[in-house]
Structure 1
């Protein structure tokens, strides 16, 4: 009998994804390839209607920026205050064909079951605050396992429960995140004791979790992650990719530096900008990422008129300035930007894995990255590693990449082979072993 594994939809955004969203998508696709049935449990802002077609509409309604009225806000406050003491039963949502999903390809995953519940993940957090336990979930089709791809205090009744903890950044570098540290620590301590198994994505994170949360080695598995830029994007002709970055961004092939990723303190953007400006190189710096928590000061530095590019009405960059930032570009264009960059600069202070490093390597682009966190074990000898706290070292590395063609060629040659160590095939083997051990397949 085919077994069913459910996953949370916490980070599965319909528009702008996150690193955890990429992890969740890759995990679900891998598990479907292994022959398991899969399902996704979503949280929606409003109560799900009884009408099947309307349920589908509500599930895919992009209402993330919609303001709730006073009545809805009051109900949400009351629901969170109570915290669902008896658990919840997420509603099964069938795809009726009402919603046209073609424009969401890549974001909407093939799954056998879709569930949704009003304010589910916030309810789970408040349930834990109120009762010190994970929120119990019941499902119309009983799963064999619920795998939360991010620490969420909820569990499936009468099923195995697994949680992925990507890193311990909120505890190890508490000044870099806005989490409630007391809550986060208590919740993690509860999860590592109550779930059936813990998954993580690097040996660095695995050792952190064992050391700081007291997890037994037999109860935690490092699966790493897979890097897989679609073949059609990797094999897109260079002429087409050059035309894209020239026509859309007014950039020349291999004549700009690129940073892409979340715009948050641990990404070390302030030091990167300072180092880049002091390096006095001819190549512009392109930053793809939206400001997040504590991003204001870095944004002000980036947008200083002395350094930033200006946009014409057709959104093309005017040459002559030094830094420009885009909140978001499509994945297809991002791949072309990575391929066309002189180097990707990713001097993060701490990463649980560091997928941008491997994506860039797979595309044959030289990478400058950090000696901290898990990145060294991911990058190996195929990247230029620097102390991310040392602005002078960072500046010197940027200069070297700008002026030393042999260095760039060497890193471009090593990158794809290193990325191949994290292939989808190897990842599938690790996931198959994990679930076979847990489910007895």
Structure 2
């Protein structure tokens, strides 16, 4: 019988997705293709229903805009204060066919089995704060390994427990995140001490974790990451993609710059906008991302009415925004936006891996990115890297990409070759070695 690996569903249930969700789905897909049974543990906002059909329905219920009642808030607060000193027992969910899954199947990944527990991820955090140890989970069908794809104080009883730490940004750049740094540091120190193994996604992050948290080199593995863009999206002709971005976004093929990713301070969007405006290009800057922590000021800058230009459409003069922002676009449309861009601009101050860089290079779009964090490790010489703290260097780079067709062509050709070093096949080999060593070594 094949071994069973469970994963946390912390990020999988988010409708707009995150880099960690992409990582989780990729990791589950790799494990599934290697012959392991895979499953996911989800957290539900309320009690897990006893009725199996209602349990299935509630798992997919979108409660993001629903205001909880006072009684619910009081019960949740009390539960979090007490924690779960005797652990929790996630309940299995069987898919009966009641819920039509066509719209959400890909979001939840290759999960052969699904479990749910009341508020399990937030409960784990509060449990650690109260008791100083991880929240234990007991399962009727015992897994062989629990792999938390994000550092969570969770542990599966009588199983191997593995944790992915993508980066140490909250500790290395504490002024750029809203995390509770005291909690985060203590939790990570406790996590790496008792973990059966630590996984990370770059040599840069691996060195950080060893140096800052004191993890022995033999107990941490860098698997990198991989990006798989479906063939149906990669094989769309340029004409089809050009029609899509023109019809939906009113943009010209290779006639705009693009940033996409989380809208947070470490992404360096304010300096990017400053450099972009100073470059005096006529190509608009498209930003895909919803404002998060400390995003209000950047949003105001983006939406400033000064950043408009005017174009002639038939017999009319039409105002357009020089900087345009979209909170969210679907994955197929994002792929089309990447393919149609003159270049992707991603001057992050620090990344544990940098998925947008790899995605863009794989699709043959030139990339401007950063000399900080893991980006040089991932991009090699196949992207235009600048000091993300130096706005003038960034301005010069944007101007070069704007005006130099030969430069763009060179990066467009080099990108896919570099991206091939992070292929799905290579990733599966690394994941296979990791799990085989842990489960069979």
* Whole-Å separation in 2 of the counterparts to 1:308 and 1:348: 26
- CA contact under 8 A between 1:342 and 1:402: conserved in structure 2? yes
Deviation, 1:3, is 0.4
Deviation, 1:140, is 1.6
Match of 1:74 in 2: 74
Match of 1:111 in 2: 111
Match of 1:15 in 2: 15
* Whole-Å separation in 1 of the counterparts to 2:131 and 2:51: 34
- CA contact under 8 A between 1:351 and 1:373: conserved in structure 2? yes
Relative distance call for 1:27 and 1:12 in structure 2 (3 A) is same
Match of 1:216 in 2: 216
Q: In structure 2, the residue corresponding to 1:103 is in which secondary structure? A: coil
Deviation, 1:309, is 7.6
Deviation, 1:156, is 0.1
- CA contact under 8 A between 2:308 and 2:319: conserved in structure 1? no
Match of 1:417 in 2: 417
Q: Which runs of 5+ in 1 are unaligned?
A: 311-317
- CA contact under 8 A between 1:199 and 1:223: conserved in structure 2? yes
Cα deviations by residue, 1:318-371 (Å, 9 ceiling, x for unpaired): 664310000000000000000000000000000000010010001100000000
* Whole-Å separation in 1 of the counterparts to 2:294 and 2:30: 35
Match of 1:40 in 2: 40
* Whole-Å separation in 2 of the counterparts to 1:150 and 1:309: 43
Deviation, 1:307, is 1.1
What does residue range 90-101 of structure 1 map to in structure 2 within 5 Å? 90-101=90-101
* Whole-Å separation in 2 of the counterparts to 1:106 and 1:361: 23
Deviation, 1:103, is 1.3
* Whole-Å separation in 2 of the counterparts to 1:261 and 1:14: 15
Relative distance call for 1:41 and 1:86 in structure 2 (3 A) is same
- CA contact under 8 A between 1:264 and 1:295: conserved in structure 2? yes
Deviation, 1:48, is 1.3
Relative distance call for 1:319 and 1:345 in structure 2 (3 A) is farther
Q: In structure 2, the residue corresponding to 1:42 is in which secondary structure? A: strand
- CA contact under 8 A between 1:302 and 1:308: conserved in structure 2? no
Cα deviations by residue, 1:135-189 (Å, 9 ceiling, x for unpaired): 0100121000000000000100000000000000000000000000000000000
What does residue range 17-416 of structure 1 map to in structure 2 within 5 Å? 17-307=17-307, 320-416=320-416
- CA contact under 8 A between 2:133 and 2:190: conserved in structure 1? yes
Q: In structure 2, the residue corresponding to 1:166 is in which secondary structure? A: coil
Q: In structure 1, the residue corresponding to 2:15 is in which secondary structure? A: coil
Deviation, 1:13, is 2.8
Counting matched residue pairs gives: 434
Relative distance call for 1:308 and 1:53 in structure 2 (3 A) is farther
Give runs of ≥4 in structure 1 deviating > 6 Å: none
* Whole-Å separation in 2 of the counterparts to 1:12 and 1:281: 38
Root-mean-square deviation (CA, aligned residues, Å) is: 1.1
- CA contact under 8 A between 1:148 and 1:164: conserved in structure 2? yes
- CA contact under 8 A between 2:308 and 2:320: conserved in structure 1? no
* Whole-Å separation in 2 of the counterparts to 1:202 and 1:163: 15
Q: Which runs of 5+ in 2 are unaligned?
A: 311-317
Match of 1:5 in 2: 5
Q: In structure 2, the residue corresponding to 1:410 is in which secondary structure? A: helix
Deviation, 1:64, is 2.1
Match of 2:315 in 1: none
In terms of mean alpha carbon deviation, does 246-255 or 99-108 score higher? 99-108
Deviation, 1:231, is 1.2
Deviation, 1:110, is 3.0
Deviation, 1:108, is 2.5
